[in-house]
């Protein structure tokens, strides 16, 4: 299948924060089993594939911990299907090199400062990818069987479902709101 949809795996609580317009960013250094040994942008548009098993309350700010609990309601390691609700377009990939830059973004995401710091420190010689995303919610969520190729600590997967390409989408934030959020990130990092 030449044109299989691409998905980026992310904690379900973060996918929900993106879907609800609570944040527009993701931070990546890669999965433990990345083929390239570090994170690379494999596609500039992709579905968000929610993951559940590694989510931890201690890495989520208290205000968002209830959302984490909600993502786990009814979830089981034995689940054979996953629900895809979001599509994203990469608008900007900013490389974060130091803690001072990262600290400036603390109020723009759901993760604790400790979690963000740990992400930056892991594979210390590699920068942290701050991905600014234009997120779209599917008007109807799509249930997919969980294939063995989706499992493991890797960031990118190829989805095996034509229904995704037919799914209609609507932007989570309108254009003005989205541009304002981009402006906030730029201002905090001194990029404006």
| Average pLDDT by stretches of 10, the chain with 192 residues | 79 96 88 55 92 88 91 85 95 89 91 78 75 96 90 85 85 97 95 77
Report, at the CATH architecture level, how domain 6-184 is classified. Answer: Roll (2.30)
Q: What's residue 149's pLDDT?
A: 86
- In whole angstroms, give the CA distance from residue 17 to residue 23: 6
Measured between its terminal Cα atoms, the distance across the chain in Å is 42
Q: What's residue 123's pLDDT?
A: 61
Which residue ranges make up each domain of the chain? 6-184
Q: How many CB atoms lie within 10 A of CB 177?
A: 13
Q: Are 123 and 38 in contact (CB under 8 A)?
A: yes
Q: What's residue 169's pLDDT?
A: 95
Q: What's residue 166's pLDDT?
A: 83
The answer, as to whether pTM is greater than 0.85, is yes
């Amino acid at each position: 299948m030449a044109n299989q949809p691409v998905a980026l795996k992310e904690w379900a609580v973060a996918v929900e924060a993106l879907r609800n317009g609570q944040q527009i960013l993701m931070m990546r250094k890669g999965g433990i089993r990345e083929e390239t040994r570090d994170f690379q942008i494999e596609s500039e548009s992709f579905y968000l594939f929610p993951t559940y098993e590694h989510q931890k309350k201690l890495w989520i700010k208290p205000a968002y911990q209830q959302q984490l609990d909600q993502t786990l309601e009814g979830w089981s390691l034995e689940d054979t299907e996953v629900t895809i609700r979001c599509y994203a377009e990469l608008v900007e990939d900013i490389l974060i090199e130091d803690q001072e830059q990262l600290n400036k973004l603390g109020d723009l995401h759901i993760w604790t400062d400790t979690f963000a710091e740990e992400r930056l420190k892991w594979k210390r010689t590699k920068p942290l990818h701050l991905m600014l995303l234009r997120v779209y919610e599917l008007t109807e969520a799509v249930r997919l069987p969980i294939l063995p190729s989706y499992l493991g600590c890797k960031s990118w997967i190829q989805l095996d479902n034509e229904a995704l390409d037919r799914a209609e989408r609507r932007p989570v934030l309108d254009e003005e709101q989205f541009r304002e959020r981009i402006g906030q990130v730029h201002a905090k990092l001194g990029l404006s």
